[in-house]
Chain A
Amino acid sequence: MGLRDVAVVGAGLTKFMRRSLETGRELAFEASKMALDSCGLTMDDVDCVVIGTAPDAFDGVHMKGEWLADGAGGWRKPVMRGYVGGGTGVFSPIQAWYHIASGLFDVCLVVCEEKMSTCQPHPQGAFLTIFDHTTERALKPNLLWIFAMEMQRYMTTYGISERDIARVAVKNKRNGLDHPATQVGADITVDDVMNSAVMSWPVKRLDVSPTSDGAVAMVLASDRVARRITDKPVWIQGVGWSLDTQYWANRDLAYPTYLEKAARMAYSMAGVKEPRKEINIVEPYDPFDYKELHHLEGLQLAPKGGAPQLIIDGVTERTGNMPSCPSGGLLGVGNPIAAAGLMKVSEIFWQLRGEAGKRQVPGTPARGLAQAWGDLMQVGTVIILGNEPSSR
């Protein structure tokens, strides 16, 4: 393809918090500084900056990327902000990847930040503008509707129970207890999920991730530079993304076709032919518990309707054959939207380096995948990391 190999060489993050004293720019700086310190670089070494952050409406700040840039090392650098809603946290390192793979730059700082607490009385108010202004908003929708209806369709199509879906929340919240950034790690049971308040059936309070403030940053470098920065570069082997139609009620809600497209693009680039055998560890996007299962299927890591069996069999536990959301994910750590996606990529980075502390999965995983999802339930973003450069 004429592309250069690109590696992740450093990462850093703030706590995930319901509400932080720090401004978005300050959160961005704390994460950026930690990421740079982790690989011994300064901004003098960084050629360009990619900023990922979700709707300006959360912050009441126009052009939030520019507003964050001073805290993200963007001063007098080539800066780019990309935005695909919840998919942003994985889309941002993809952008950094092509900045470097193209040969244009050697070192890129990726900074993803979200501060949802600013938006009052509830950040869902900003999300309402996602519904079609003429044909849907007059019905006074709330954002949970679309997820609840997707979950219901998924359950009905494949005969999946709420209890089996709740297992995901239990696993991820327990995994989250071991994450130093956690806002919502907890030891709970399937009954706790089932007995939590019904918000928009079948979605119950403990099926849902929280709103959060936080930031994550990551340093990417070209092949020749990465090997000078660290003995343990983690290589980006494949990337993929795909967008489905905005006419969401015209889609098959039981299966995320857009994600299959994104995943196949990434697998092809990474030379992965049998994903279930070749992906050792996975961080699918889990703002709701059913989404982890839905996404494992879209990623071709489980047959359609077959993801619940993986969790029943323990396959997706940290000690299982294919750990899923070992970080704790959005359900177990928190969901500062763009930052949450990049947190997933950083988890794969630390896991492949053997630096995930209490969360470290057994064995020596060689390849991992992180994925995010967003816009009007319509975008899939996928990145595959490995201990060796891609075999393409």
Chain B
Amino acid sequence: MSQVVDRRQSVSSSEPHDLPTLPGTPLRDSDIREGRVLTERWDPDLRYAWDTGIAISRYLQGLKEGKLLGSFCSTCERLVVPPRIVCEQCFRPMREYLPVKDTGTVNTFSISHVAWNAQPIQTPDIPAVIDLDGASPGIGILHKLGEVDPNAVQTGLRVEAVWEPARKRKGAITDIRYFRPLS
């Protein structure tokens, strides 16, 4: 247990906001470029190989066959995508895999003009959350939109999957090239 003595008389009211400057030494890019400060660099050599698991293996197999699979919880009766072996809400096993449709509704979207490193890209990406027909309400997946004028995209837009041809599918989310407005 702490042996703190009474310090109320010895400490003046400390107000860091009245201090002229806080500690910290901001650097400019030129400080590094022109060698005014020394730096050390390291490029890691790391690779990862993920096993896809029980449920996502089924999902990927479904994609290869040109269908979207969800898993069904017999307790809360939700059909969710992507499939999982446990319902996170009921914490009961999900053992039944059922197909949902490859059509759906845009729940939300963005028109992205930058890559992951915040650098500009030429053709904007249109990521979207697509609520899939046949899944429970509000169950969406992340994918991209294509064959669409970015200005025409809005929440509620009805869309359909554009699949890679069967011979090119390899069991990956990219077996769906993108979703486009329902014809």
Interface residues of B in 123-164 (CB under 8 A from A): 125, 127-129, 138-144, 154-155
- Does A45 sit within 8 A of B, measured CB to CB? yes
Return the contact of A148 from the options B4, B19, B112, B154 (Cβ within 8 A). B112
Q: Is the CB of B37 within 8 A of A125?
A: no
| Residues A134 and B107 in contact, CB atoms below 8 Å apart | no
CA A131 to CA B173, docked complex, whole Å: 13
B144: chain A residues within 8 A (beta carbon)? 139
| B183 close to A (CB within 8 Å) | no
Task: Decide if A391 is an interface residue (CB 8 Å cutoff).
Answer: no
- Interface residue ranges of A272-310 to B (CB < 8 Å): none
Quick one: which of A17, A22, A47, A203 contacts B110, CB cutoff 8 A? A203
Q: Is B61 an interface residue when CB atoms closer than 8 A count as contact?
A: no
- Docked CA distance A181–B23 (Å): 9
User: What A residues does B4 contact at CB under 8 A?
Assistant: 41, 45, 106-107, 221, 225, 228-229
A142 closest partner in B (C-beta): B116
Mark the stretch among A184-192, A194-202, A316-324 that contacts chain B: A194-202
Residue of A nearest to B155 (CB): A156
Contacts of B25 in A (CB 8 A): 17, 20-22
Q: How far is the CA of A138 from the CA of B50 in the complex (A)?
A: 12
CB-CB under 8 A from B24, the residues of chain A are 14-17, 20, 22, 27, 30, 181, 213-214
Do the beta carbons of B18 and A357 come within 8 Å of each other?
yes
A50 within 8 A of B: no
In the complex, which range does the number of interface residues on chain A fall in? 35 or more
Whether A133 contacts B2 by the Cβ 8 Å rule is no
Q: Is the CB of A106 within 8 A of B1?
A: yes
CB pair A106–B15 under 8 Å, yes or no, is no
**CB-CB under 8 A for A139 and B142, given A10-B14, A47-B2:** yes
CB distance from B62 to the nearest CB of A (A): 12
Asked whether, in the complex, the Cβ of A144 is within 8 Å of the Cβ of B117, the reply is no
**Given A60-B44, A134-B50, also A37-B116 (CB < 8 A):** no
* B35 in the interface (beta carbon within 8 A): no
Q: Give A197-222 as 1s and 0s: 1 = Cβ < 8 Å from B's Cβ atoms.
A: 11111110000000001100000011
Closest A residue to B9 using CB positions: A40
Q: Which residue of A lies closest to B120 (CB)?
A: A197
A200 and B50 CA atoms in complex are apart in Å by 29
In the complex formed, the residue of A with least CB distance to B49 is A133
Residue A387 at the chain B interface, CB threshold 8 Å: no
Q: How far is the CB of A350 from chain B (nearest CB, A)?
A: 7
- Interface SS of chain B: loop
> How many Å lie between the Cα of A199 and that of B116 in the bound state?
11
- A124 located at the interface, meaning its Cβ lies under 8 Å from any Cβ of chain B in the complex: yes
Instruction: Provide the bound-state CA to CA distance between A144 and B110, in Å.
Output: 9
CB-based contact A250/B80 at 8 Å: yes
B173–A357 CB distance below 8 A: no
Say yes or no: is B113 at the interface (Cβ < 8 Å to chain A).
yes
Name the distance in Å between B17's Cβ and chain A's nearest Cβ: 3
Contact B155 A153 (CB under 8 A): yes
CB distance from B120 to the nearest CB of A (A): 8
Chain A 103-123 per-residue mask, 1 if CB under 8 angstroms from chain B, else 0:
001110000000000001110
A249 CB–B CB distance under 8 Å = yes
Contact at B22–A181, with CB atoms within 8 Å? Answer: yes
Residues of A within 8 A of B84 (CB): 247
Tell me the B1-20 residues at the A interface (CB within 8 Å).
Answer: 1-8, 10-11, 13-19
Are A153's CB and B108's CB within 8 A?
A: yes
* Beta-carbon contact of B108 and A135 below 8 Å: no
Of the candidates A20, A144, A180, the one whose C-beta lies within 8 Å of that of B16 is A180
B60 sits at the interface (CB 8 A)? yes
- Among candidates A21, A105, A228, residue contacting B7 with C-beta atoms closer than 8 Å: A228
> B36's closest neighbor in chain A, by CB?
A21
Q: Which residues from chain A contact B44 at a C-beta distance below 8 Å?
A: 60
Task: Assess whether A40 is in contact with B10, with CB atoms less than 8 Å apart.
Answer: yes
Residues of B within 8 A of A (CB): 1-8, 10-11, 13-19, 21-27, 37, 41-42, 44, 48, 50, 52, 56, 59-60, 80, 82, 84, 88, 107-118, 125, 127-129, 138-144, 154-155, 172-174
24 contacts between A and B (CB under 8 A): A12-B16, A13-B16, A14-B24, A17-B25, A21-B26, A31-B23, A39-B14, A40-B10, A45-B2, A45-B4, A105-B1, A135-B56, A136-B142, A138-B172, A138-B173, A139-B127, A139-B144, A152-B110, A180-B17, A199-B114, A200-B112, A231-B8, A250-B80, A350-B17
14 extra interface residue pairs, beta carbon distance < 8 Å, beyond A17-B26, A198-B111, A199-B114: A14-B23, A21-B27, A45-B3, A121-B117, A125-B117, A134-B50, A141-B142, A143-B116, A145-B110, A150-B108, A153-B108, A153-B129, A180-B17, A228-B6
